[in-house]
Amino acid sequence: MTANCGLSLDQMAWRVAQELQDSWVVNIGIGMPLLVPPHVRADRDVIFHSENGIIGMGPEIEGGDHVDPDLLSAGKRPVRLMPGGSFVHHADSFALARGGRLDAAILGAFQVAQNGDLANWKLPGARTGSIGGAMDIAVGARRVLILMSHTTREGEPKLVDRLAYPPTARGVVTKVFTELGVFAITEDGFVLEEIAPGVCADQVRAGSGAQVKTDGATLMVPPDPVSPREPVLSRA
Amino acid sequence: MKQKRHETPLEAIDRMTDNSVVFVGGFGRAGVPERLVEAVCRRKLRGLTIVSNNAGSNVAGIASLLQEGCVGKIICSFPLAREAVAFRDLYDRNLVDLEVVPQGTLAERIRAGGAGLGGVLTPTGVGTDIAEGKPLIEIDGRAFLIERALRADFALIKAYKVDPLGNLIYRKAARNFNPIMAMAADWVIVEAAEEVGIGALDPEHIITPGVYVDAYCAVTRIDQMMEATP
């Protein structure tokens, strides 16, 4: 994280998790979004979809005797299957994504533009990049929730007027969650909905490469310290 | 009855030739027909176009095909995984061509190939680099790209169980691209962990009917057979 202020990574993951409602089907990819599932509220049964054909993916496994080489996450790490989970082939997995069955997808990003354009697959000027399932999922999910640091390591804003990075999908982002707060994409551009404790609106504006409407933001009250739940592997 | 069973992976791939387009199932290492891939390496086939989700990781699977100099082009969705060392090296030296395809588009192009369609209309990639040079069509006010169907000369498939008719079931997330690839190639070669008799597979559970399968070999791998706790 670049900023020394604002939420910890776990608090950011906790905040995204609060967004997920009971019975939602949520795609989870690789990287920071993997921090989110352990923070889902105990009274909400969220079904995680993994692009490689897992519906009802459980938590990642750290290794050891119970690692199954045929049960991997999108990041190719060993995972469990929730009771009642199922497998489909790749075409059906992406039919689910594009076909409107994902209530939300949690993705990382290089940049998000104020009109909801998303860039997360390729660096500017690079010869190529890895798309994976990001383009299909970003286009297909009903809500695209972005979990990312507010700026790059070099301090460059990642909330921008217009993308400087090659786009992944146009006009798809619903909300952005950073260490500084929660940002909705609206017809008027970025609107700060919640601000992290200890952060002021000037900091948010200074760290953003686009207009951010900050009046009306409420103060977020995350647990401190925030502790992930033990994975629940049964259903009531 | 057509004889599909072969004793070894090398015999199972005997029809494969240089400069073929080859589907290789798998996502990460799950569902990769590693024994068939090994056999292709041993045959030292040249100029293959490999269609697979990844461009290989470390030394197994597609990475070994790259290292053995079998591959002229890769069509995949995720070429630059950290472990794709062999691919990066060849790509940086311009020794292998690359076509990057969004994962869902790759899957749907293959399904269209197997279904006798010319291509698919997808919203994926509209307004991005992927759309360059592709026809755009508007339906009910929404923009779609026309993506061409994708077929292969050969498919290398990893299954869990096979019977003498070539009926297949898969195991967990090792299913991935295998069933759709098995439907979209001219000659389909299967590596199964286990061979069972005709009638042993519940017809309700068969994922790939044997009519799609031309050749198979069975290789028992202990680690693949291990049942993990759910």
Complex prediction ipTM: 0.94
State chain B's mean pLDDT as an integer.
94
Residue A180 confidence (pLDDT):
98
Residue A66 confidence (pLDDT):
74
Residue of chain B with shortest Cα separation from A96: B104
Rounded mean pLDDT, A183-201: 97
Residue of chain A with shortest Cα separation from B207: A89
Task: Give the pLDDT band of residue A2 (cuts 50, 70, 90).
Answer: very low
The beta-carbon neighbor of A70 closest among B30, B122, B126 is B30
Rounded mean pLDDT, B82-96: 93
Residue B56 confidence (pLDDT):
82
A57 with B9: CB under 8 angstroms?
no
Per-residue model confidence as pLDDT tens digits over B109-158: 999 999 999 999 999 999 999 999 999 999 999 999 999 999 999 999 99
What tokens appear for B154 in the block?
């050969």
User: What proportion of chain A, given as a percentage, has pLDDT over 70?
Assistant: 94
Q: Which residue has the higher pLDDT, B22 or A234?
A: B22
Residue A124 confidence (pLDDT):
94
Residue A212 confidence (pLDDT):
98
Residue contact B180–A91, C-beta within 8 A: yes
How many helices (H) and strands (E) in chain B?
A: 7, 11
Query: For chains A and B, what is the number of CB pairs under 8 angstroms?
Result: 154
Task: Give the pLDDT band of residue A176 (cuts 50, 70, 90).
Answer: very high
Closest alpha carbon to A103 in A33, A171, A46: A46
Task: Give the pLDDT band of residue A31 (cuts 50, 70, 90).
Answer: confident
Q: Which residue has the higher pLDDT, B154 or B55?
A: B154
Domain spans, chain A: 9-219
Check whether A107 has a pLDDT greater than 50: yes
| β-strands A25-28, A218-219 pairing | unpaired
Phi first, then psi: give them for residue B73, nearest 5 degrees.
Answer: -150, 145
Interface test with B, best of A92, A131, A165 (most B CBs within 10 A): A131
Residues of A labelled catalytic:
51
The beta-carbon neighbor of A87 closest among B110, B128, B173 is B173
Q: CB-based contact (8 Å) between A72 and chain B?
A: yes
What tokens appear for B3 in the block?
């004889």
Residue contact B125–A135, C-beta within 8 A: yes
Q: CB-based contact (8 Å) between A49 and chain B?
A: no
B162 with B218: CB under 8 angstroms?
yes
Q: How far does the CA of residue B213 sit from the closest CA of chain A (Å)?
A: 17
| β-strands A181-186, A189-195 pairing | antiparallel
Query: In chain B, which residues have their Cβ closer than 8 Å to the Cβ of A76?
Result: 27-30, 57, 81
Task: Give the pLDDT band of residue A59 (cuts 50, 70, 90).
Answer: confident
Residue of chain B with shortest Cα separation from A121: B78
A155 torsion bin: left (phi>0), alpha (psi -120 to 50), beta (else): left
According to CATH, the superfamily of the domain at A9-219 is Glutaconate Coenzyme A-transferase (3.40.1080.10)
Residue B186 confidence (pLDDT):
98
Check whether B224 has a pLDDT greater than 50: no
What tokens appear for B130 in the block?
């992927």
User: What proportion of chain B, given as a percentage, has pLDDT over 90?
Assistant: 88
Q: How far does the CA of residue B2 sit from the closest CA of chain A (Å)?
A: 27
Task: Give the pLDDT band of residue A4 (cuts 50, 70, 90).
Answer: low
Task: Give the pLDDT band of residue A233 (cuts 50, 70, 90).
Answer: low
Q: Is A111 helix (H, G, I), strand (E, B) or coil?
A: strand
Check whether A63 has a pLDDT greater than 90: no
Rounded mean pLDDT, B36-44: 97
State chain A's mean pLDDT as an integer.
93
What tokens appear for A212 in the block?
């951010």
Residue contact B230–A80, C-beta within 8 A: yes
Q: A144 burial class (0-12, 13-18, 19+ CB within 10 angstroms)?
A: buried
Closest alpha carbon to B173 in A25, A77, A229, A7: A77
Tell me how crowded residue B177 is: count the other CB atoms within 10 A of its CB.
30
B224 with B171: CB under 8 angstroms?
yes
Q: Is A186 helix (H, G, I), strand (E, B) or coil?
A: strand
Residue B1 confidence (pLDDT):
87
Q: Rounded distance, CA A200 to CA A194, Å?
A: 11
Check whether B193 has a pLDDT greater than 80: yes
Task: Give the pLDDT band of residue B221 (cuts 50, 70, 90).
Answer: low
Residue contact B57–A170, C-beta within 8 A: no
Place of tokens 């670049």: A2
- Walk me through the domains of chain B, giving residue ranges and CATH numbers: 9-118+149-195+207-218 (3.40.1080.10)
